[in-house]
Amino acid sequence: MKAVTIKTAVKSWPVEGAFTISRGSRTEAVVVEVHVCGGGITGKGECVPYPRYGESVEGVCLQIAQAAMELNGMPDRSLLQKLVPAGAARNGLDCALWDYEAKSCGRRVWDVAGLPVPEPVYTAYTLSLDSAEAMGNKARANAHRPVLKVKLGGEGDMERIRAVHANAPSARLIIDANEAWTVEQYIRLAPQLAEQGVALVEQPLPASDDAGLGSIERPVPVCADESCHDRATLAELAGRYDAINIKLDKTGGVTEALALCAEAKERGFIIMVGCMLGSSLSMAAAHLVAQQASFIDIDGPLLLAADQDCPLQYEGSLVHPPRPELWG
């Protein structure tokens, strides 16, 4: 293998308006772009440091710089898995190494991975947390989309769901409370949610308090997000969750995401592939894993006011595989 150099660049992508969840609002998506360069070839990856997991832009850049020194010029994905824990830093570097390998051998990344040629997939479209009236209006404007993901936050959530369903009655709904509920709220709301077209509830309880999900009926399937990172976290999820949300910034890249997907399926979990708020470069890698998912949420670029020069092609909610100029 030829020796490579590894570089990082911090980029900020403006959000179209604002993006609000139960933890707060953002007007920009700050990402770390990773470049693996060698022999006139540059492989790229993008990661999104997430404060919820104790990550910062500075910390992630330092992790990548340390990993680059330990890799010592070798584009070795297997070694990377041992050097860096699951998280954003490993994700950016892992995805860049996949891209570099594909470009180096003149093949598409799915061929390198031994996977079928990917098909276009339908993504959910996220409705940011707001008043019931505002979310109903946003749902009406996006009623043509087959799946809507609804951000919730506690008080007034049922009114929000009713407003969304009334304005987009044909859409399948995923709701995401981002750890803002209690067991009692789920028990009270779940039967009503099923009547409003809700197909999945994402992370209703704090990850530290989700044991209570194992002792209750779940009339609407519950999906682990903050509670599921990599294969090491799967064992504790059995009996508590029906589905898992695989995000590359949690797994630490495509390598672990594919392994997590395979093991989770063996254990009987429904697969969702999600994303942090990032550009088409992040979504391109997630698109590869999304081929095996029942629920897909890779709408990040649809929520931004700007994107990569060679972005993913979105036709409404239909997302096409990335062109080689972007990734893979």
Domain's final residue, options 56, 75, 109: 109
Three-class SS state of 23: coil
Is 203 within the bounds of a domain?
A: yes
Is 31 within the bounds of a domain?
A: yes
DSSP secondary structure, 115-174, as one string: -PPPPPEEPPEEEPS--HHHHHHHHHHTTTSSEEEEE--STTHHHHHHHHHHHSTTSEEE
The reply to whether 168 and 262 lie within a common domain is yes
Q: Report the number of distinct structural domains present in the chain.
A: 2
The reply to whether 127 and 34 lie within a common domain is no
Domain's final residue, options 88, 109, 130: 109
The reply to whether 99 and 179 lie within a common domain is no
239's CB contacts (< 8 A; 6+ apart) are 214
- The tens-digit pLDDT sequence of the chain (328 residues) is 679 999 999 999 999 987 877 667 788 999 999 999 999 999 999 999 999 999 999 999 999 999 999 999 999 999 999 999 999 999 999 999 999 999 999 999 999 999 999 999 999 999 999 999 999 999 999 999 999 999 998 789 999 999 999 999 999 999 998 899 999 999 999 999 989 989 999 999 999 999 999 999 999 999 999 999 999 999 999 999 999 999 999 999 999 999 999 999 999 999 999 999 999 999 999 999 999 999 999 999 999 999 999 999 999 999 999 999 999 9
The reply to whether 98 and 147 lie within a common domain is no
34, 92 in Cβ contact below 8 A? yes
The rounded distance, in Å, linking the Cα atoms of 176 and 189 is 13
Catalytic site positions? 151, 247
Is 184 within the bounds of a domain?
A: yes
Q: What integer pLDDT is reported at residue 154 of this predicted model? A: 74
Domain's final residue, options 109, 143, 167: 109
The reply to whether 182 and 281 lie within a common domain is yes
Domain that holds residue 62: 5-109
The reply to whether 94 and 137 lie within a common domain is no
Is 231 within the bounds of a domain?
A: yes
Domain holding 63: CATH number? 3.30.390.10
The reply to whether 212 and 276 lie within a common domain is yes
The reply to whether 219 and 139 lie within a common domain is yes
The rounded distance, in Å, linking the Cα atoms of 5 and 40 is 11
The reply to whether 190 and 307 lie within a common domain is yes
The reply to whether 155 and 62 lie within a common domain is no
The reply to whether 275 and 127 lie within a common domain is yes
Is 328 within the bounds of a domain?
A: no
Domain holding 150: CATH number? 3.20.20.120
State the DSSP H helix or E strand holding residue 88, giving kind and residue range, or none if neither.
helix 88-105
Is 324 within the bounds of a domain?
A: no
- Residue 165, Cβ density class (10 Å: 0-12 exposed, 13-18 middle, ≥19 buried): buried
Is 327 within the bounds of a domain?
A: no
The reply to whether 143 and 53 lie within a common domain is no
In DSSP terms, 222 is beta-bridged to 201
